[in-house]
Amino acid sequence: MSAAGAALLALALSVTVLALPATAASAAARFSCPPGARPVLFNFGDSNSDTGGMAAAMGWNLTRPEGRAFFSHPTGRFCDGRLTIDFLCESTASPFHSSPPYCPQSNTLQYPSLHLFSATFFFLPHEWACIFLHATRNHSGETYGRQGLAGTGACSPADEGSRVWAPGRGSQARAGLVGAGGGARAHGRGESLNISYLSPYLKALGSNYSNGANFAIAGAATLPRDVRFALHIQVQQFLYFRDRSLELISQGLSGPIDAQGFQNALYIIDIGQNDVNALLDNFPYDQVLAKFPPILAEIKDAVQTLYNGSRNFWIHGTGALGCLPQKLAIPRKNDSDLDQYGCLKTYNRAAVTFNAALGSLCDQLSTQMEDAMIVYTDLFPIKYDLVANHTKYGFNNPLMTCCGHGGPPYNYDFNKGCQSPGVTACDNGSKFVNWDGVHLTQAANAAVAARILSSQYSKPQLKFDKFCRV
């Protein structure tokens, strides 16, 4: 490793591996989008934020237990419920909305004053109102509360952005959005964008693009740039989407988003994990670091391309790759590469170094694009803390897969994934950090979203109300 590289790594490690303060996010200021605000969001990334794009593109019919903890059925997300991007989008701005529903200490909701039975009356970002709820119990004994839609037409089962669930155990409801006056008590929370969940760009049926689109695809990377669903291809898909929308409007037809919507929109880029993982699986550590610049160049190119008509960017670093059961399950000669929490030091060092370089790139872009807002969020300390201080969040098994095969210590089998015949999921995913060996559980995603919304780990520390547009 060069002297410069060594210095960068030392600096990154000294900054990033600090434990998260328990109350940092809870001190964050709250906001509510004003009436009539219409935030628009476009997301680019991999399976960490894929809300069904790959399933639609490839015709994959995922089966339960995917989606069991929130939607009650698979949606194309590689998770038992919502992803981090879902929590960032969730409806919270109306006075009838609560905050992102995560309570790591008690895992319970304190119900507000306005409710019908166990249902809460609140308004969605569109004209429908959720006014009734019934409970159902899934095969693992988790109780869900489902809200029906009534108002300007029949209920729309295809509109996942209109459905809210409250999964839990017994009489304790978890992770649901509930109504007026206080809402859920969420440790370390901020507020989200008050929009429906993002529809995948490639999903032909049941999609609603009025609040943006999701171009993220499972397995996506930055390189090679011209392969299917790479970041460059996702940006090209966006350009087609934008140009076609504006063309329709220019013809006097209805387009999902107008020119002002595209200009004021927030553009999130959350990619790089697959690139770094692939390098670590195939090259010595020093060579891995030397191959970071081309990855960063692709992210830079994406921002510069989107900058032609866009001004708001939110870029996420990668997570604690060395804490993924998929990586920990790789046979090793000994445990000398494990840290005090059981994570692989080499993978985590690479993630930290990559994030430091990505943060520096965002600084450079901010200097070059003075009229743009570029926010960088370091996800490594956020996700590493889920393992290092897992009991703080109510997790019991920080390094073990919920939906996997093989049993302890990692419950991960390279030949039998979550969708394989005979593979069963854990009874209570809320006690696990990891869902399938690679992706987080809904409970972990909620914790990550709360930390992102706090802005405590972002530079600059910008609140999401910046992106409320009337």
Among candidate residues 162, 166, 195, the one with its CA nearest the CA of residue 87: 195
Q: Are 43 and 302 in contact (CB under 8 A)?
A: no
Q: Which residues are catalytic?
A: 47, 436, 439
- Dmax over CA atoms of the chain, in Å, equals 67
Which residues have C-beta within 8 Å of that of residue 197, sequence separation ≥ 6?
Answer: 51, 82, 86, 89, 90, 160, 161
Q: Which two tokens stand for residue 198?
A: 């993002």
If DSSP codes are grouped into helix, strand and coil, which group holds residue 403? strand
For 20-48, b/e burial (b = at least 16 CB within 10 A) is beeeebeebeebebeeebbbbbbbbbbbb
Backbone angles phi, psi at 269, to 5 degrees: -120, 115
Q: Which two tokens stand for residue 194?
A: 């008050």
Burial of 332 (C-beta count, 10 Å sphere; 0-12/13-18/19+): exposed
Q: Are 260 and 251 in contact (CB under 8 A)?
A: no
Distances (CA, A) of 33 to 266, 351, 415, 455: 14, 34, 47, 17
Q: Which two tokens stand for residue 131?
A: 């006014």
Among candidate residues 113, 125, 187, 136, the one with its CA nearest the CA of residue 161: 125
Which residues have C-beta within 8 Å of that of residue 387, sequence separation ≥ 6?
Answer: 320, 323, 341, 342, 343, 398, 399, 433
Q: Are 84 and 100 in contact (CB under 8 A)?
A: no
Beta strands in 227-270 (DSSP E): 266-270
Distances (CA, A) of 74 to 22, 162, 219, 414: 33, 16, 18, 22
Counted residue by residue, the chain has a size of 470
Please report the DSSP string for 428-439 in residue order. -GGGEEESSSSS
